[in-house]
Amino acid sequence: MQLISSIACITIFFLSSAYGQTTSLKRFLLTSSTDPAVKAQKEKTDCLRGSFLESPFVNGIDFRIREDEFDLNQVRYEIRIKPKSIGETRAQYGYNRTRFMQTDQKNCLIFNNALKERYILFIEMFQQQTFLRLYDELIAIVDDKIKVMSQKASSTDFNINDLIKAEDENTQLRSDRFDIQKMINVFKDRACIFLNDTTFQEFDTTAIISIDSLINRFEKASFAIDTNNVYLQNYRLEFQIAQQRYALEKARSRRLVSFLSFAYDNGDRFGELMRRDEGKDYNLNKAYIVEIGLQIPDFALSRSQTNQRKADFLSEKENYEELKRSLTDQIKKDIADIRSLIDHYRFLKARENEVDATSSLKKYVEMGGVDPLVLLLTKESIIKNRIALAKVRFNVMQNYIQVLDVAGQLSRRPLINYLSAHNEALN
């Protein structure tokens, strides 16, 4: 029994240790490279690698055999070559190569999205866990308020409306806490999937940058849209593909020779040999046939197809310019939002320093005969101000990640953990 108890204790110890561990943000961000979407896109790129290399000058070669009357002496052999037009080989190579480049570039786009998704998930979970702790403190204070008010029910300064208001506040806080816990569980499940680790409980936030340091880092830097960021680069290649497709269609519209055929007819040769044996005039060259096919562009709808490709190219170019304008507006808005949040944060900090609620609380505690309700209201003011400051802090962090994303820095090599206190390298 003692042995079983010892084993049970050791098992419980290891399990509690495993579940008590925290996960660093660095480890979490590094899972971006193993994201299923990233791996799938890489496999697609590997499959297309080298596929833009095609045979020059020729679209295809057919080898045909025709037999008449089920007679082996009447077999006709033919090689039919489908030539490319002048410039078509170069245009086809350019189109295929650009299409591969776009597929390869999409690796960067998908990785960037996976990295950004993990940043945002970390911020949201960190935010909700911070709120959960502050709400627990606030609920405990409101509970105490209700007890103090209930004890004053027989006194002259008792106000039933204040008690009802406190109870309503308590109900709302507990409802909000339930929603916060539910959101934490959702974020935790997503983090478990990203980490491929069902034992994940929470992040290690000890090395995360403080709000004051983040504000200082933001104000010292300058941000502008990077025209080579993953979004614009992807769209640029999209319209380049359409442009190359248009050039290819133009080259194909100049194709006048649809095929060249070189044939050998065994039946004709056999017939000429028989004429020779009979002493008649014969010509063995009749067995050899050369045929050429000419294409009339207007009847092949080449002009319509070319115009359609040009329209597609112009449409993709318009989409690129529209995205560029949209991202420019977005980074301006995100920067303006951060500056507004910084002003809000400084206002709350100044208000906290002016009121100095913590000092007031200590002063009231040191004083004798102070109404407990006054102490509780002071504590409540402190916690509510901390909640307001936390909201500002995490909004700044989210907008900061958005700005880095549009500025093209988020997934730029070498990778950096931008939420760490010292710009930790991700390697």
Which domains does the chain carry?
A: 23-52+84-256+295-425 (1.20.1600.10)
203-204 and 416-417: which strand pairing?
unpaired
32's tokens: 């971006």
75-83 and 257-265: which strand pairing?
antiparallel
Looking at residue 339, what is its pLDDT? 94
42's tokens: 């890489």
21's tokens: 């561990």
170's tokens: 């308590």
Task: Return d(Cα 96, Cα 94) in angstroms, integer.
Answer: 6
Nearest to 116 by CA among 214, 198, 231: 231
Nearest to 37 by CA among 238, 194, 237, 229: 194
SS3 assignment for the chain: CHHHHHHHHHHHHHHHHHHHCCEEHHHHHHHHHHCHHHHHHHHHHHHHCCCCCCCCCEEEEEEEEEECCCCHHHEEEEEEEEECCCCHHHHHHHHHHHHHHHHHHHHHHHHHHHHHHHHHHHHHHHHHHHHHHHHHHHHHHHHHHHHHHHHCCCCCCCCHHHHHHHHHHHHHHHHHHHHHHHHHHHHHHHHHHHHCCCCCCCEECCCECCHHHHHHHHHHCCCCCCCCCHHHHHHHHHHHHHHHHHHHHHHHHCCCEEEEEEEEEHHHHHHHHHHHHCCCCCCHHHHEEEEEEECCHHHHCHHHHHHHHHHHHHHHHHHHHHHHHHHHHHHHHHHHHHHHHHHHHHHHHHHHHHHCHHHHHHHHHHCCCCCHHHHHHHHHHHHHHHHHHHHHHHHHHHHHHHHHHHCCCCCCCCCEECCECCCEECC
Task: Return d(Cα 150, Cα 146) in angstroms, integer.
Answer: 6
Nearest to 167 by CA among 139, 134, 131: 139
Looking at residue 139, what is its pLDDT? 93
Q: Which residues of the chain have pLDDT under 70?
A: 1-20, 50-54, 69, 71, 153-154, 156-158, 297-306, 354-370
Task: Return d(Cα 86, Cα 256) in angstroms, integer.
Answer: 10
Looking at residue 16, what is its pLDDT? 40
Taking a C-beta distance cutoff of 8 angstroms, is the pair 242, 315 a contact? yes
Looking at residue 162, what is its pLDDT? 74
What single-letter amino acid sits at 169? E
Residue whose structure tokens are 């649809």: 258
